[in-house]
Amino acid sequence: MSAFFTAEQIALLSASTVRCDFLVKFEFVTSTLYCWNGNTDLPALDGNTYKPMFGFGNIDGLGLAGAGTASETVTLSLDGLPGQALDILSHALAETADVNQQMVTISLQLFGEDWQPVGLPIPIFRGFMQPPKVTRGAMGEAGGTQSVSVVAENIFFGRARPAYGRNTDRDQQGRYPGDKFFGFVSSLVFKTITYPDF
């Protein structure tokens, strides 16, 4: 473990007060967004500048992974209004295909007493984003709020299913493009076949 963390990070993790926050990297098809829950731009030591979410971001489902190989999910959500500095709401609404099955990385960033980043971000979750969901809160005196949430499945997403092997034309085309062996399987579902037929 000492090779993974720097001596300075180990000292910070061993202290009675640990200053840290999550950094999130969204790898959309058309662009990559870096964000954190602070109030200012954060130039991290990995060379990226993380944009602020002003405390409106939430991450649910992070925890110690079990010993099994089941796919676990993490939900990332952002409450706010369209037009804010980090407008993930309009990005999610505009192009769902830009988000679906793309990678998201959640890292832990340690800070010193002066709230300056110490060491590189420590990756703690990497997964595949699912289509975003947008919800709108009830209108009140302060107006209505919108929130967008994205569920991310960890790296075991889809591992329980074989890549091919479902005896369908689509799977067969994935293995052998142009092969018509399973092209008529769907027409045989309710068909009665008499064997032997004399």
Q: Which pTM was predicted?
A: 0.69
Where b means 16+ CB within 10 Å and e means fewer, 109-131 reads bbbeeeeebbbbbeeebebbbbe
**For residue 34, what pLDDT is reported?**
93
- Mean of pLDDT values over 65-84: 68
Q: Is the distance from CB of 35 to CB of 86 less than 8 angstroms? A: yes
CB atoms closer than 10 angstroms to residue 23: 24
State the residue for tokens 């007060």. 17
- Output 30-36 pairs: Cβ under 8 A, ≥24 positions apart: 30/95, 30/98, 33/86, 33/88, 33/91, 35/86, 35/88, 36/109
Higher pLDDT, 104 or 169: 104
Cα 53 to Cα 79: distance, rounded to the nearest angstrom: 9
Cα 151 to Cα 133: distance, rounded to the nearest angstrom: 9
Cα 104 to Cα 101: distance, rounded to the nearest angstrom: 9
- Mean of pLDDT values over 167-191: 81
Instruction: Map residue 110 onto helix, strand or coil.
Output: strand
- Mean of pLDDT values over 131-137: 78
**For residue 111, what pLDDT is reported?**
92
42 closest CA partner among 122, 109, 88: 109
